[in-house]
Chains A and B, each alone.
Chain A
Amino acid sequence: MEKVVRKYLGKIEAQGLAHRDDVLFLARDADVYASRSAVGEERELLRVLDGMNCSALLYARLAEPYRSILDEVVLRDSSVAAEGRVFPRDAETRTFLHDIPVLDTFSADAILAALSKRKTAIIRNHGIVTFGAVTPEQAFIFFSSVCFTMFVKYFSDTLQRFRQGEIAGEALDAFRRIWQETERTCTVQHAPVLRSGVPADADAVLALMCEAGQAVVSTHLVDSCFGNISYGTDEVMYISQTGSSLDELEGCIDAVSLAGTSSVGITASSELTAHKRIFAETGLNAILHGHPRFSVIMSMDCERTDCDRERCYTSCPESRSVQGIPIVSGEIGTGPNALLHTVPKALRTAPGVIVYGHGVFTACRGDFQDAFATLRSIEQACMDAYEREVKTQKCERPEA
């Protein structure tokens, strides 16, 4: 247990979500392992663990800018005041976490009640608590998802509030601090150089994919176990397995027969069919899918108010784009409204496509250099677009 907990503490720090001293990670088989001693009110968490049928419990005070983002969302989101919960806007978190309860007190009873209904909870003025029903990794994934969804929600909602003239005073001060810290921790410009050239054999394909996956994670273009990557050849599509972390792909890539004669692809990414269709319809064989934050945020920046917002995720009839990058709707996985029906078509004419509220697909031929460069440039363009939008609302640019 100790080894697993240390691994995920390392990931939490590497993603800039929290400092390990601010995390209390409890994991257990027959015995409980604690990442550090529980102090003060944190001792309540031991009672929470006793009351739950689970393998791990994770509590963390966040690092900046996430700490301020969380505080701002809890302070200003109308659904927190009205219903005591946050409703995520991004597609993955909506699907997997539904909504996130906000607790006013750090008490075992309150936390237990919340975690009996949801996978995670926010404790006002404290941080995030979550659990792993099966493994500690799940607790990490949920924690990372909440940080992601808070980031997206904060910047999405704030842009709307700028437009409505609601950002002033303390809210403006907070935004400036958060923006400054966001720019400071942005790593999209500090990207590693990927190897070039067509891989000579299967081992070379796997090495190429592992390298590209690590690059996507190191530039924070995807978190925890989200995103996926594939490489198509004449007969086989190599694709990351479902639930795999793109920075740990060794042993987690499926070789799926393009003829469909074997079902080993049952463990492949849930976007397998989308990847296959991209390859079939465009000939582009190196495909990346990440969740860059400002791309997700800007994909949801739509000023129309006279339509059913639920349809944005599934079947928006509008032709939308940001900085020339097409935005399409589409759900995860299969189904009549799945992104596999929209993304391949968009990639016929564009090097990348943003799926509404979800993430970005990019594709190229031969190696991953262009796909990775496109992924980064889309995110940078969306971040720039966000900043311009804020300035357009006659808000002074936050000083660095």
Chain B
Amino acid sequence: MSGYTYRSIHVDLSDRSVGIVTTPEILCREYLGGRGFGAAMLSDAITHAYDAPELPLVFATGPLVGTAAPTSGRMSVVSRSPLTGTIFDCSVGGRFGTLLKRAGYDYLRIVGASSQPVMLEIDGDAVTIRSAEGLAGKTVSEAGQKFDASWSTAVIGPAGERRVRYASIMIDGHYSAGRGGLGAVMGAKGLKLIAVRGSRTVPVADPAMLTTARDSIMRLLRTSQAVFGEFGLAEFGTAALVDLMHARRMEPTENFRKTVFPQAGAYSGYSMKSRYRTKKTGCAGCPVLCKKIGEGKEVIPEYETVSHFGALNANCDLSSIVEANALCNDLGLDTITAAATIACYAELEGRTVPPAEMLQMLREIADRRPGRGDALAEGSLRYASSRGRPELSMSVKGLELPAYDPRGAYGMALAYATSNRGGCHLRAYPISHEILRRPVATDRFSFDGKARIIKIAEDLNAVVDSLTACKFVFFAVSLEEYAKALSAVTGFPHDVQSLFRIGERIWNAERAMNRANGFTAADDDLPARFFAEEGSSGAQIRVLPIDRQTFLDARARYYRVRGYAEELAQGEDGR
């Protein structure tokens, strides 16, 4: 098949060995790339602790990466999460995936650990492990400085080095492999930085067919208000969702005690665009360019970040939100978990954390300063548990929930629960149909039909993350168009259902790994708050607590659709 280089890199940091291996054909056929590659490569090592040298850390591209297929400049980073203990993948943009492919490699697999900080340099055929002692303790921006624009970098900050359980890996300075703490896995291996560059072209089997597929995709994207509309992602970035979630009364506020934050307009997409005079930027090969940079080079935060450093912490100071985002990027922290852990702390303390203290706490966390910083570096679930109040961690499987209150979107509630990586919106992204009405609107306050819908979407997104494409384009495009693009690139006749079968295989492999680590139906659940407390009803919208039994019935239907007899037989306690 075209679209693959059939060369990959295996690195063992314990003995500092580097091997170039042939990418197995069966891996390409059965797992596509990206997240799928990671799932396949982790399956026999997933029970290792996150800091065990034997645990692989995988950076994998997909078959579309480096081609003219729209939004294909992404890659996946995959390992076991220090935060959740689950298999964990992050789909991340920037240029790293594209340059890794252009350097001639499908994936990079790292095992072992170095007692001294090291960096990995991939310069086309030359793959070199170098000392990074001079970079120890440096921030992401400081560490990446020596590499010019011909390189792409993956860097951990002080948080990763100190194994903060939600440390991120930063790509090109501000694209974050953010969730789940894979930066701590990299830190445990003593790997501070990876730099890559390359200039090869990626072979495409049928360029004319790819042009046709690309034209279809672009035509569909232009029909989408959510993508290219005047209020869409291309104009405001994901912060376009601030006003919408506010209007739907489902913006998590004050650690999910409320669902409306009256001052949310202070950090809306419009407010940020006006104040920072933003311009568009984005990942390699993307026509949407949803990333926004201010006139003064400010990196404009994503929706989840503004909402969690905003409403979730009752903070309407836009400057502090933008600064918190910049600080997290530079220290190498996941913004969602960082903000949610601070909100959990605030509730436990019975107060609101003011903006200046919030910024100070981020530094304490990244440094694991003794006391509060070290305790919060464990994430909200371990922290709340240490204070005897685990129910105040708004997380699923230990992963803090993003900025969509599940009481306002029941498909989202179910998808949070069933997600293989914990409280994540991106596994099934039901916000697409429950809120954005794409590809078709569904009743957000109903579980009817949602078990099947969530299963299908989980499979779909496993494919998207393996291609590796961007989920946002699927507001407008379907797998039908991407199957054609993939067939054009690879020369292999993929179709929608064959891709769905691959997606299902990836999902089930992930689920099997979680079972191997002791996860049960009891872990497919939401925090008790959502079943007991009403959200902020008003404006003719009732945000009722989710009916517990209705949720459990929907989850049981999900298990039946999936064929998960094991979970179906388990009680609420997982036994």
Q: Do A and B bind each other?
A: yes
Query: Interface size of B by Cβ–Cβ distance < 8 Å?
Result: 58
Give the distance to chain A from B31, nearest Cβ to Cβ, in Å. 17
Interface residue tally on A, bucketed by range:
35 or more
- Contact (Cβ within 8 A) A1 B448: yes
Which one of A81-89, A116-124, A368-376 is at the interface? A116-124
A134 touches B437 (CB 8 A): no
CB closest chain-B residue, reference A340: B230
Q: How far is the CA of A27 from the CA of B453 in the complex (A)?
A: 12
Contact B500 A135 (CB under 8 A): no
Give the residues from 247 to 294 in chain A that come closer than 8 angstroms, CB to CB, to chain B. Answer: 252, 256, 260-270, 272-273
Cβ distance A111 to chain B, nearest Cβ, rounded Å: 12
With A and B bound together, what is the CA distance between A132 and B440 in angstroms?
10
The answer to whether A133 touches B437, judged by C-beta atoms less than 8 angstroms apart, is: no
Residue among A98, A270, A273 with max Cβ neighbours from chain B (10 Å): A270
- Give the chain B neighbours of A263 by CB distance below 8 A: 231, 236, 240-244, 268-270
Are A266 and B223 closer than 8 Å at their CB atoms? Answer: no
Q: Is the CB of A117 within 8 A of B495?
A: yes
Contact of B224 among A113, A115, A244, A333 (CB under 8 A): A333
Question: In the complex the two chains form, is B435's CB within 8 Å of A267's CB?
Answer: yes
Once bound together, how far apart are the Cα atoms of A1 and B435, in whole Å?
21
Closest beta carbon of chain A to B196's beta carbon, Å? 34
* B437/A243 in contact, CB under 8 A: yes
CB neighbours of A333 from chain B (8 A): 222-225, 228-229
**A267 pairs with B222, CB closer than 8 A:** no
Task: Say yes or no: B557 contacts A334, CB within 8 Å.
Answer: no
- The answer to whether B247 has its CB under 8 Å from any CB of chain A is yes
Scan A174-212; emit 1 where CB is below 8 A from any B CB, else 0. 000000000000000000000000000000000000000
- Asked if A116 and B220 sit within 8 Å, CB to CB, the answer is no
On whether A141 and B456 interact (CB within 8 A), knowing A29-B448, A134-B433, A266-B232, the answer reads: no
- Indicate which residue in A51, A268, A335 contacts B222 across the interface (CB closer than 8 Å): A335
- Residues from chain A with Cβ under 8 Å of B452 in the complex: 28-30, 55
Judged by a CB distance under 8 angstroms, whether B439 is at the interface is yes
What residues of A have a CB within 8 angstroms of the CB of B268 in the complex?
A: 262-263
Establish whether residues A135 and B449, one from each chain, have CB atoms under 8 Å apart when the complex forms.
Answer: yes
B438 touches A243 (CB 8 A): yes
Q: Which residues of A contact B439 (CB under 8 A)?
A: 133-134, 138, 243
A80 in the interface (beta carbon within 8 A): no
Is the CB–CB distance between B230 and A273 below 8 Å?
yes
Q: Considering the chains assembled together, what is the distance between the CA atoms of A29 and B247 in angstroms?
A: 30
Interface residues of A in 33-73 (CB under 8 A from B): 51-55
- Do B230 and A272 touch (CB < 8 A)? yes
Residues of A close to B437: CB separation below 8 A: 241-244, 267
| Interface flag for B21 (CB, 8 Å) | no
> Is the pair B230, A267 in contact by a Cβ cutoff of 8 Å?
no
Candidate in A113, A260, A262 with the most chain B CB atoms within 10 angstroms: A262
Quick one: closest A residue to B230, CB to CB?
A273
Q: Is A338 an interface residue (CB 8 A)?
A: yes
For the A-B complex, the count of residue pairs with Cβ-Cβ distances under 8 Å equals 164
A256 / chain B contacts, CB cutoff of 8 Å:
231
Q: Is A172 an interface position by the 8 A CB rule?
A: no
A117: chain B residues within 8 A (beta carbon): 480, 483, 495-496
Contact A116 B230 (CB under 8 A): no
Tell me, yes or no, whether A112 is within 8 Å of chain B by CB: yes
Are B496's CB and A29's CB within 8 A?
no
Within 8 A of A (CB), among B209-262: 216, 219-220, 222-226, 228-232, 236, 240-244, 247
Contact among A53, A134, A332, A334 for B497, CB-based, below 8 A:
A53
- Given the complex, which residues of A lie within 8 Å of B448, measured CB to CB? 1, 4, 29
- Cβ-defined contact, B557 with A53, below 8 A: no
How far, in angstroms, from A293 to B224 measured CA to CA in the complex?
A: 24
For A118, list chain B residues within 8 Å (CB): 480
B232 contact set on A, CB distance < 8 A: 266
Interface pair B449/A1, CB less than 8 Å apart: yes
Q: Among residues 323 to 381 in chain A, which have CB atoms less than 8 Å away from a CB atom of chain B?
A: 331-335, 338
Q: Which B residues are CB-close (under 8 A) to A30? A: 451-452, 556-558, 560-561
Which residues of B from 474 to 522 have beta carbons under 8 Å from A? Answer: 478, 480, 483, 495-498, 500-501, 504
In the bound complex, residues from chain B placing their C-beta under 8 Å from that of A54 are 456
| CA A331 to CA B561, docked complex, whole Å | 40
A11 CB to closest chain B CB (Å) equals: 14
Q: How far is the CB of A77 from chain B (nearest CB, A)?
A: 21
Residue B459 at the A interface, CB < 8 A? yes
In chain B between 20 and 61, which residues have their CB closer than 8 angstroms to a CB of chain A? none
| Binary flags per residue of B306-320, CB closer than 8 Å to A gives 1, else 0 | 000000000000000
Contact check, B229 vs A334: say whether CB atoms are below 8 A apart.
yes
Kindly provide the distance from the CB of B440 to the nearest chain A CB, expressed in whole angstroms.
5
Task: Determine the chain B residues whose CB is within 8 A of the CB of A95 once the complex forms.
Answer: 219-220, 223
A114: nearest chain-B partner, CB-CB: B495
B270–A260 CB distance below 8 A = yes
**Which residues from B are CB-within-8-Å of A335?**
222, 228
With A and B bound together, what is the CA distance between A338 and B216 in angstroms?
A: 15
A7 to B54, CA, bound (A): 56
B265 / chain A contacts, CB cutoff of 8 Å? 262
**B436 at interface (Cβ–Cβ under 8 A)?**
yes
Binary interface encoding of chain A residues 134-148 relative to chain B, with 1 for a CB under 8 A from any of its CBs, else 0: 110110010000000
B441 touches A268 (CB 8 A): no
**B225 CB contact (under 8 Å) in A27, A28, A112, A242:** A242
Which chain A residues border B560 with CB–CB below 8 Å?
30
B interface footprint on A287-325 (CB within 8 Å = 1, 0 otherwise) = 000000000000000000000000000000000000000
Contact yes or no, A55 B561, CB < 8 A:
no
Cβ-based interface call for B442 (8 A) = yes
The residues of B that contact A96 with a CB separation of less than 8 Å are: 220
Complex alpha-carbon distance, A133 and B479, angstroms: 10
Whether A133 pairs with B456 at a CB distance below 8 angstroms is yes
A270 near B225: Cβ-Cβ < 8 Å: yes
Tell me whether A116 and B270 are in contact in the complex, defined as CB-CB below 8 angstroms, given that A135-B440, A264-B247, A270-B229 are known contacts: no
A265 partner, pick from B223, B225, B459, B558, beta carbons under 8 A: B225
Complex Cα–Cα for A51 and B496 (A): 12
B292 within 8 A of partner (CB)? no
CB of B450 within 8 Å of the partner chain = yes
Tell me, in angstroms, the Cα distance from A247 to B219 when the chains sit together.
Answer: 27
Residues of B within 8 A of A134 (CB): 433, 439-440, 442, 453, 456-457
Bound CA–CA A10/B457 (angstroms): 28
Question: How many Å lie between the Cα of A256 and that of B270 in the bound state?
Answer: 13
From B225, B270, B455, B561, A261 is in contact (CB under 8 Å) with: B270
Measured CA separation A112–B442 after assembly (Å): 26
Q: How far is the CA of A27 from the CA of B451 in the complex (A)?
A: 13
**In whole angstroms, how far apart are the Cα atoms of A113 and B495 in the complex?**
9
Residues of A contacting B442 in the complex (Cβ-Cβ under 8 angstroms)? 134-135
Please name all residues of chain A whose beta carbon is closer than 8 Å to the beta carbon of B480 when the two chains form the complex. Answer: 98, 117-119
Interface string of A98-131 (1 = CB under 8 A from B): 1000000000000011011111000000000000
**B357-381 Cβ-contact flags toward A at 8 Å (1 or 0):** 0000000000000000000000000
Complex Cα–Cα for A256 and B248 (A): 14
**A52, B500: Cα distance in complex, Å:** 9
A-B contact pairs, 22 of them (CB 8 A): A1-B448, A4-B449, A55-B456, A98-B216, A98-B480, A133-B439, A134-B453, A134-B456, A138-B440, A243-B439, A244-B437, A252-B441, A256-B231, A260-B270, A263-B231, A263-B241, A263-B242, A263-B269, A264-B244, A266-B244, A267-B225, A270-B223
B→A interface (CB under 8 Å): 216, 219-220, 222-226, 228-232, 236, 240-244, 247, 265, 268-270, 433, 435-442, 448-453, 455-457, 459, 478, 480, 483, 495-498, 500-501, 504, 556-558, 560-561
User: Which A residues lie at the B interface, using CB under 8 A?
Assistant: 1, 4, 27-30, 51-55, 95-96, 98, 112-113, 115-119, 132-135, 137-138, 141, 225, 241-244, 252, 256, 260-270, 272-273, 331-335, 338
- Other CB < 8 Å A-B pairs besides A133-B456, A267-B244, 8 of them? A1-B448, A29-B448, A54-B456, A113-B495, A117-B480, A242-B437, A331-B219, A333-B225
Ordered nearest first, which 4 A-B pairs have the shortest CB separation? A30-B557, A263-B231, A333-B223, A116-B495
